[in-house]
Amino acid sequence: MIAITSVDLENENRALREELDRVRSEVGRANQRQRDFIALAAHELRSPLAVLFGYAKILESETEGTARERAEVVTTHAWRLKSIVDEIVILQQIDAGELVLRFESLEVAPLIRFAVDSRQREIEDKELTLETFAGNGVAVRADRERLGLILDTLISNAIKFTPHGGRIAIDAQTDAKNATISVRDNGVGIAPEDQKHLFERFFQAGDIFTRHNKGLGLGLSIAKALVERLDGRIWVDSAIGQGSTFHFMLPRALPGAQRPRVASHPSILL
């Protein structure tokens, strides 16, 4: 029988600690290489995409008939590709703890109008009725760019899943501490078993091979991450055949709270 001494145990523990440190170091380097690649790829893609999008818009304005229709197709797909790149970059910033937020007092109504106006072509193409019930004076404490992205994601989803000629309504309600913004549609609805996965990365309700709506399934997971980093929460009410309502709640702005405050958050995996 071989006796194991305290020195042997200490040597074994030291070797295990050294191996663990080595693995952690390798994982850290791999994560850094991944972040560097994403940042470089996004930078390299954005420049040609901006050129492509710009020239496609020029062609739209300078041509008619079939040529204009083709230019519109190029514009649409360039914008879709830009959105995918932006989503990947935001997720990288969230995971790396590099997402910077500039908190300020923001009126909700103008931001909703801007988000709706940016989707006007899609709304008109589907002949949707879109109504807003957010009165002036409803203000939240948030980051302007991130709040705009949350609104755009929810409005875009409502447009995608609402049938031709359907209805969408956006409203904002307040209580003593919070404002709740809701985006309601009369679309296909979401099955109960899918609702609990909606805010997971890459999740798409329904069969991924038969669904008609394109995308990586990142939009809602990003919206959830941003809402939570803005000290709020997001949830959905839905039933098959009865449409869906996405709600998100943010802290109301305090009177006179106009000066932006910069904040960053540690990495939180979704």
Which carries the bigger pLDDT value, residue 95 or residue 1? 95
Of 49, 79, 95, which closes a domain?
A: 95
Residue 142 covered by a domain = yes
The helix/strand/coil state of 131 is strand
Quick one: 84 and 216 in the same domain? no
Could you give the CA distance from residue 59 to residue 56 in angstroms, rounded to a whole number?
Answer: 5
Q: In which domain, by residue range, is 124 found?
A: 103-264
Residue 204 covered by a domain = yes
Whole-number Cα distances in Å, 46 to 41, 81, 89, 203, 226? 9, 9, 11, 26, 22
Which carries the bigger pLDDT value, residue 179 or residue 62? 179
Distance between first and last Cα of the chain: 51
Place of tokens 């001494």: 5
- Number of domains the chain contains: 2
Enter the tokens of residue 54: 């710009």
Quick one: 130 and 238 in the same domain? yes
Query: Could you tell me where the DSSP H helices lie in the chain?
Result: 6-62, 65-95, 108-118, 120-125, 144-161, 192-195, 219-229
What percent of the chain has a predicted confidence (pLDDT) above 70? 84
Quick one: 85 and 171 in the same domain? no
Quick one: 178 and 71 in the same domain? no
Quick one: 147 and 185 in the same domain? yes
**Confidence grade of residue 210 (pLDDT, cut at 50, 70, 90):** very low
Of 95, 118, 148, which closes a domain?
A: 95
Quick one: 114 and 144 in the same domain? yes
Whole-number Cα distances in Å, 34 to 18, 30, 90, 171, 269? 24, 6, 14, 40, 16
- pLDDT for 135 equals 73
pLDDT tens digit sequence for 219-251 = 899 999 999 999 999 999 999 989 999 999 999
Residue 1 covered by a domain = no
What is the average pLDDT across 83-104? 85
Which carries the bigger pLDDT value, residue 108 or residue 37? 108
Quick one: 148 and 243 in the same domain? yes
What is the average pLDDT across 113-135? 91
Residue 234 covered by a domain = yes
Enter the tokens of residue 242: 């009865």
Residue 23 covered by a domain = yes
Quick one: 140 and 249 in the same domain? yes
Burial class (CB in 10 A: 0-12, 13-18, 19+), 215: middle
Query: What's the pTM value of the predicted model, to 2 decimals?
Result: 0.74
Residue whose C-alpha is closest to residue 246's, from 233, 254, 235, 257 = 235
**Confidence grade of residue 268 (pLDDT, cut at 50, 70, 90):** very low
- pLDDT for 35 equals 66
Looking at every residue in the chain, the average pLDDT score rounds to 83
Enter the tokens of residue 233: 């929460």
Tell me the sheet residues that pair with 141. 105
Which carries the bigger pLDDT value, residue 92 or residue 183? 183
Of 60, 95, 130, which closes a domain?
A: 95
pLDDT tens digit sequence for 14-43 = 888 888 888 888 877 776 776 676 667 777
Query: Could you tell me where the DSSP H helices lie in 96-143?
Result: 108-118, 120-125
User: What is the CB neighbour count within 10 angstroms for residue 107?
Assistant: 16
Tell me the CATH number at 252: 3.30.565.10
**Confidence grade of residue 9 (pLDDT, cut at 50, 70, 90):** confident
pLDDT tens digit sequence for 35-91 = 676 667 777 777 888 888 788 888 888 888 888 888 888 888 887 788 788 888 888
